[in-house]
Every structure is written in structure tokens, then in C-alpha cells.
Amino acid sequence: MNTPLPPLGRLLPVGLGCLLGGSLFAASSGPRFYGDPPDDHHPWAVHDGNRPQPKRVTPGTFSSADRPGNPPSDAIVLFDGTDLSKWQTDKGAAAPWRVVDGMMEVVPRTGGIRTREEFSDCQLHIEWAAPAQVEGSSQGRGNSGVFLMGRLEIQVLDSYDNVTYADGHAGAYYGINPPQALPLNPPGKFQVYDIVFRRPIYRNGQVLDPGYVTVFMNGVLVQDHTMLEGPGGHMGRTKPGPFPEHGPLSLQDHGNPTRFRNIWYRPLPPRPAEGGTDGWLTAEAALAKRAATAAEIRADAATLRDQSDPLPEMQRLFESLVYAPDAAALERASRLAAEYVAKLEALPAAALAGKKDEVKQNAEILGYLAKFKILPADFAPRTALQGMIKAHGWDKR
């Protein structure tokens, strides 16, 4: 793993880290002045070294039909096989279902249960098993349901060699969309659901994002980013509409002793319609994030102020302009660049030759800024550095 570097080391484009020499520039958290800059909907440049790093998550282990796996390190565990302390009835009483051999089992006719904790967009993992002894048919075999936010039902049913209406099979977005396939283990064996849920987002009665649900059953895709059409339900057709911001996970008592185990979820970050945190964002959110990034870089530049070595501050100030314009930052960076060029021009030829790589690196930085019209094409320090490079033949391979 690379050791974080002081700010100047983070400024360098790919391939230029070695140009200034020394361990300070031996590695980088990411290139600067390299990929296409931020735009109206992207707060980061392509390959941006300022872009936040993904968090480290220790992966879990996979489940089988006979043995539950382990959740990833950032999962919020709702049932680990020991007790039902995180569950309750719809009226807030203790959950009346049984815990047997690391599994929770529906006690028929006691009613459904729901989590005490409420959630929103999430990755949900839940495993279930219909009774090994097959009784009944169609909707009468191992029936239960997973209700996301207490509303949208992903059907639980013993669909193994069992004919029923298509939008009521295991893995169905119940009453709305049948599963694409029925990759079930035999009755009595556990089935594994991995669900990605995104609730509908409305603003002032207008849909910004209709919401989607994706479901894998035993590793097989059965709901493919299915657009939400309301909560779904029995016999009645529901319509698209807003959901609450948070809701519980509910499990259904449908009169069958269905079992559940290994239930956990991971909250998901906001989407672009909510402002988002990365990727394609609304213009408003992208502008705000760009302004915040520029302010952080300028604050860092102030800590680098050193009359004997103006380059770190100068480069950080120029870097901040990639994200958001600022008259004061531009004025100071331009003045530092002019002073830098003046000092170079005052050097004896032998001393200037030792600055070759440094000069080329800074010319490339100013060239990047001019290319994307952050600086004018005739920016005087850039023109001076280009002339110096050409005069000494440093542009030749």
C-alpha cells in the first residue's frame, strides 16, 4: 500500500512523478492535470487524485443450501441465528416466532414480524427454506414474503415443481413481475436471496427516479433492475408512487412454518436524483462538490506557502482552479508563476540545465490548464516556459 504523500507529490501527472527526483515524488495518490477535467455533472476529473477512495470492506463467505455464509465487514446484521431481539410485531411487541438451531421459523397464525430498525436503499441478503415435508400446492406451499420497507414484496414460496401464477412464484416482485427463472433447491433446503433495492424518489409530486429492484436467487438473476410499480399485492394492480424515506424489513406469516437465517443488509449511497456522492450528479450537486474540493485545495495551498520554494503553493492553487474559478487564487498563482519564470531566466546555463525536468513538468501543467481554457492560451509564464524548452532542445526525444 502506498504511503500518503505531501500535497506537491499528489500534483503530478502519470509519468511525471520521477521528473523532480527524490522520494517525495516516488508515488502518488492519483494523477493531477491529466484526465479530462470536471464538468457540469461530474465533480471529478477522469483519473482524479482528489476523488475519494472507496472504503475497504472485508468480504464475507458464500452460503450453500446446507450452511450459511458470513456477512461482509460493513453489514448490519438483522438475524445471526441467536435471537429475535431486532424484530417485533407490527404493534411493537416481542416477535413470537421460534429460533431453532440457528434459524427463525414462522409460528403459523401468530402474524408477521418486522425489524425494529428501519432502512432505505440497501443491499439485502436473506436465506429461507420451505418445509421439507411438502404439503399443499400453488400458493399453499411454503408461502411467506420479504417486504422491503414493509411495502414491496419479494415472494417466498416453494416453487420447486409447483405450478402457480407466474407473478406469484419465488423470486417474483409479487403481483408485478415474475422471476426470470426458478433456480430453487429442493424443499427443506435453503434458498439464498441477494436483493438490491432502490426506492422511488419524488419531488413536488414529480418522479425523479422510479426506483428499481434487482434479485439474485441462489446466484441466478431473477429480477433484472425491475422498475417499481408501487408495492405490488394480491389481485389488485398497484401504481407507481412515492415510498417513505425509511421503512422496516417485514417477513410474512402465511400459515406455513417457513424458516429464515443469515439476514443482513448494507445501506447504499444516495443516487444522482438525491444529490449523490459520486459519478454523474445533478448540476447543483456537482457544482457544490467542485466548490468544496476547490476550497479544500486552496486551504492546503495556504499551508504550503514558502518564499524559498513557491512551487508547491503555486501548483495547488492552479489545481484548485480545475474545480472552481477564484479571482484571488488565480491572481496569486499567476504571480508565483511569473516569479518562478523570472528566477529561471536569471540562472546560469549550467544551473538551468539542472532544472530541465522541473521546467517541462510545470509547462505541461500550464498546458493542461490552457487546453481546457482554465488559463488563456497566451498565458505569459506558459509561453516563457515553452520558449525555454524549445531554445534548449528539451522538446526533442
Answer for the pair 110, 240: CB distance below 8 angstroms, yes or no: no
Question: What are the angstrom distances between the C-alpha of 342 and each of 20, 314, 319, 350?
Answer: 19, 15, 22, 16
Q: What is the mean pLDDT of the chain?
A: 90
* pLDDT for 72: 96
Q: Are residues 260 and 342 in the same domain?
A: no
Number of domain units in the chain:
2
Q: Are residues 263 and 117 in the same domain?
A: yes
Residue where one domain finishes, among candidates 273, 300, 317: 273
- What is d(CA 43, CA 57) in angstroms, rounded to the nearest whole number? 25
Q: Are residues 214 and 350 in the same domain?
A: no
Residue where one domain finishes, among candidates 257, 273, 289: 273
Choose the weakest-confidence range: 13-17, 150-154, 205-209. 13-17
Q: Are residues 102 and 28 in the same domain?
A: no
Domain assignment of residue 57, yes or no: no
Rounded to the nearest 10°, the torsion over CA 303, 309, 313, 314 is 170
Domain assignment of residue 34, yes or no: yes
For residue 27, pLDDT over 60 is answered with no
Domain assignment of residue 66, yes or no: no
Residue where one domain finishes, among candidates 273, 305, 327: 273
Q: Are residues 377 and 232 in the same domain?
A: no
Answer for the pair 31, 14: CB distance below 8 angstroms, yes or no: yes
Helix (H) or strand (E) holding 212: strand 212-217
Q: What's the pTM?
A: 0.84
Domain assignment of residue 319, yes or no: yes
Going by C-alpha positions, the residue among 272, 247, 273, 251 that lies closest to residue 261 is 251
Task: Please write the tens of the pLDDT for every residue from 340-361.
Answer: 999 999 999 999 999 999 999 9
Helix (H) or strand (E) holding 367: helix 356-371
Residue 102 maps to which CATH number?
Answer: 2.60.120.560
Going by C-alpha positions, the residue among 48, 33, 63, 198 that lies closest to residue 126 is 63
For residue 60, pLDDT over 90 is answered with yes
Domain assignment of residue 209, yes or no: yes
Domain assignment of residue 396, yes or no: no
Q: Are residues 111 and 217 in the same domain?
A: yes
Q: Are residues 236 and 338 in the same domain?
A: no
Q: Are residues 337 and 226 in the same domain?
A: no
Task: Please write the tens of the pLDDT for every residue from 129-163.
Answer: 999 888 888 888 889 999 999 999 999 999 999 99
* pLDDT for 15: 33
DSSP 3-state assignment of 332?
A: helix
**What is the 3-state secondary structure of the chain?**
CCCCCCHHHHHCCCCCCCCCCCHHHCCCCCCCCCCCCCCCCCCCCCCCCCCCCCCCCCCCCCCCCCCCCCCCCCCEEEECCCCCCCEECCCCCECCCEEECCEEECCCCCCCEEEEEEECCEEEEEEEECCCCCCCCHHHCCCEEEEECCCEEEEECCCCCCCCCHHHCCCCECCCECCCCCCCCCCCCCEEEEEEEECCEEECCEEEECCEEEEEECCEEEEEEEECCCCCCCCCCCCCCCCCCCEEEEECCCCCCCEEEEEEEEECCCCHHHCCCCCCCCHHHHHHHHHHHHHHHHHHHHHCCCCCCCHHHHHHHHHHHHHCCCHHHHHHHHHHHHHHHHHHHCCCHHHHHCCHHHHHHHHHHHHHHHHCCCCCCCCHHHHHHHHHHHHCCCCCC
Domain assignment of residue 142, yes or no: yes
Q: Are residues 171 and 257 in the same domain?
A: yes
Backbone angles phi, psi at 337, to 5 degrees: -65, -40
Task: Please write the tens of the pLDDT for every residue from 302-339.
Answer: 999 998 899 999 999 999 999 999 999 999 999 999 99
Which residue range forms the structural domain that includes residue 338?
7-52+278-391
* pLDDT for 12: 38
Q: Are residues 48 and 189 in the same domain?
A: no
Q: Are residues 47 and 186 in the same domain?
A: no
Domain assignment of residue 203, yes or no: yes
Q: Are residues 122 and 269 in the same domain?
A: yes
